[in-house]
Chains A and B, each alone.
Chain A
Amino acid sequence: MTRVAARGVLLPLGVFIGLLVVWEALVPLLRIQQIVLPRPSGVAATMVETAGPIAFHAWYTLLTTLIGFASAVALGLLLGFAIGASAMCNEALYPLLVGFNSIPKAAVVPLLVMWFGIGMIPAVLTAFLLAFFPVAVNVAVGIATIEAELRDVLRALGATRWQLFKKVGVPRTMPLFFASLKVAISQAFVGSVISETIASNAGIGYLMAVAASDFNTRLAFSGLFVLAFMGVLLYGFFAAIERRFTAWAYAD
């Protein structure tokens, strides 16, 4: 690891640990009750004690998120290609997409539960609904903004629309597509946890909702830390993929 990369990891990690230390010290100092705000050491102890159930729920949330994310990427790509390549699709679909995206997705969860019952399906669908929009919009922009001159160069060779799409549209859209994956995975994660919190019988969201109703603040915080950790991990994974596949877009 280079020195710059090491700094990029160590610096934020140091700040994080510093904050934990301050938190640990302040709770007894200000005489805050454990039920309101537990000390980090207490949260850590709970995490170790309930490692088994936490791992189960974390796995469940991860699975839900990934299924929702994968279907969002598939549909987002298709929609993005259609909207970007066809002016008619753009005019017909884009306003609907924007309108749909402006609905707070938490409001849709009760409907999903009504239709599909409590379980994984509403959570997958919520993740999907939150995640497909950024993918579709980014892909559409990439396809629709091919330089006019490049288009002329290719058309003057007798290239078909399909060839233009394949040779120029798709590759030039890849950086935007991979950038949108980072956003989409975070959105899918938010979606599945929201849905689990509202109506589910498994997942970290469910775990936290149950912990909160039991006034088990330590367990609720354990869930929170696990969520943060998973969120960073997922984001980092897709950020790494982005850099790996679209290095040409990041000129030094």
Chain B
Amino acid sequence: MATQPEAMIALHGAGFEYVTNGRRFRAVEQISLAVPRGACVAFVGPSGCGKSTLLKLISGLVRATEGTVQVDGRPVVAPLKIVGMAFQNPSLLPWRTVLGNVLLPLEVLKENGDARAADRQANHERALALLEKVGLAGVEHKQPRELSGGMRQRVSLCRALVHEPELMLLDEPFAALDAFTREEMWEFHQTLRQLRTFTAVLVTHDLREAVFLAETIYVMSSNPGRIAHRHAVTQPFPRTLEHLYGHEATELIRIMREQIRSGQGSSA
């Protein structure tokens, strides 16, 4: 599996163990999976099942203590530079304008001699174009505190996307938003993926979100985190919110809910 040429992400028996106060903890173990290029996969599971650790393994922010992690056919041994990340907290820099925040990744790449971000004028245009596409035209010179929560999260996603990463890692990016804004953001995320193909890995507590956005969903169990079940969502893209009320979605959500509950109980 790990050698599949079309796999963007391939994990083979990957695990992560860490030591705190002299005690060893296993965050995740025996993770084997392959994510095709351009796919969106979701990880759901109870709190503490190591979903976020999995994202860090893939991005190279932590190194697997067992097994292998490969991205784009190469083993991950250091933080990858082709990744965009977004979190529950938009974590914008309050002293920078909206535009300044979106430009941050390009600045870092430029300083590190990356040809993709060498031209300052082009960087500005790219950031402005992206902001316009996500409906934030005209707010580029505002401060983050002047925006609503949903707008801030959109800025955060723009920051994750502006350097056109091949891989997007989303750690509960919409969890802090109200229900309506969240659904808007799902559709927004889908639009982004239509604009430009990227591989996305989504970690979420929200089963409906997983069913709406992902084509493959992994259900994890906790202590230590393992992949317990794998589900395919067959509904083609683009999806509408109607999709969530169809038979496939409701049945899948019901099954996953039960699996997560029993997964919590089975922990040793």
Chain A residues within 8 Å of B, Cβ to Cβ: 147, 149-150, 152-160, 163, 167-168, 171-172, 174, 246, 248-249, 251
Which of A155, A163, A172, A249 contacts B61 (CB under 8 A)?
Answer: A155
Cα separation A147 to B156 with both chains bound (whole Å): 15
B143 touches A248 (CB 8 A): yes
| B56 & A152 in contact (Cβ 8 Å cutoff) | yes
Chain B residues in the interface with A (C-beta under 8 A): 56, 59-61, 79-81, 83-85, 87, 89, 91, 93-95, 104-105, 107-109, 111-112, 143, 145, 159-160, 163, 169
CB < 8 Å: which of B59, B105, B145, B160 contacts A251? B145
Chain A residues near B95 (CB, 8 Å)? 171-172, 174, 246, 248-249
Task: From known contacts A167-B107, A251-B145, infer whether A157 and B91 are also in contact, taking CB-CB under 8 Å.
Answer: no
A149–B55 alpha-carbon span in the complex (Å): 12
Please tell me if the beta carbons of B89 and A167 are within 8 angstroms of each other in the complex.
no
Q: Provide the residues of chain A in CB contact with B169, threshold 8 Å.
A: 156
Contact B79 A155 (CB under 8 A): yes
Q: A246–B159 Cα gap in the complex (Å)?
A: 23
* Chain A nearest CB, measured from B62 CB (Å): 10
The distance in angstroms between the C-alpha atoms of A146 and B59, with both chains bound, is 20
A156 B107 Cβ-Cβ under 8 A: no
Report chain A residues within 8 Å CB of B160. 153
Nearest chain B CB to A44's CB is how many angstroms away?
46
Whole-angstrom CA separation of A167 from B108 in the bound complex: 9
CB distance from A3 to the nearest CB of B (A): 25
- Ordered by A's residue number, 6 sampled pairs between the chains whose C-beta atoms are within 8 Å are A149-B87, A152-B61, A156-B81, A156-B83, A157-B105, A158-B112
Q: Name A's interface SS.
A: helix
Q: Which chain A residues lie closer than 8 Å to B159 at the CB level?
A: 153
Q: Which residue of A lies closest to B104 (CB)?
A: A167
- Asked if residues B163 and A157 are in contact (CB atoms below 8 Å), the reply is yes
With a cutoff of 8 Å between Cβ atoms, the chain A residues found around residue B83 in the complex are 156-157
Question: Shortest beta-carbon distance, A7 to chain B, in Å?
Answer: 27
Q: A149-B87, A156-B60, A158-B80 provided; 4 other pairs, C-beta below 8 A? A: A153-B159, A155-B79, A158-B109, A246-B95
| Other-chain residue from B84, B89, B93, B94 in contact with A156 (beta carbon distance below 8 A) | B84
Chain A residues with CB under 8 A of B105: 153, 157
Report Cα–Cα, A96/B105, bound state, in Å.
Answer: 39
Q: Is the CB of A163 within 8 A of B111?
A: yes
When the two chains form the complex, which single residue of A147, A150, A156, A172 contacts B80, counting CB atoms closer than 8 Å?
A156
Q: Which residue of B lies closest to A174 (CB)?
A: B95
| A156 and B108 in contact, given A172-B95, A249-B94 (Cβ under 8 angstroms) | no
Shortest beta-carbon distance from B56 to chain A in Å = 7
Q: Given A248-B143, A251-B145 in contact, is the A154-B91 Cβ separation under 8 Å?
A: no
User: Could you tell me the distance between the alpha carbons of A248 and B60 in the complex, rounded to whole angstroms?
Assistant: 33
Whether the Cβ atoms of B108 and A248 lie closer than 8 Å is no
Nearest CB in chain B to that of A158: its residue: B81
State the CA gap A150–B88 with chains docked (Å). Answer: 12
Name the contact of B94 in the complex, choosing from A149, A152, A163, A248 (C-beta under 8 A).
A248
A149, A157, A167, most chain B CB atoms within 10 A: A157
In the complex, A172 Cα to B107 Cα: how many Å? Answer: 18
Closest residue of chain B to A155 (Cβ to Cβ) is: B79
Given known pairs A156-B80, A156-B85, the reply for A163 and B108 (CB within 8 Å) is: yes
Bound Cα distance from A249 to B93, whole angstroms: 11
User: Nearest chain A CB to B167's CB is how many angstroms away?
Assistant: 9
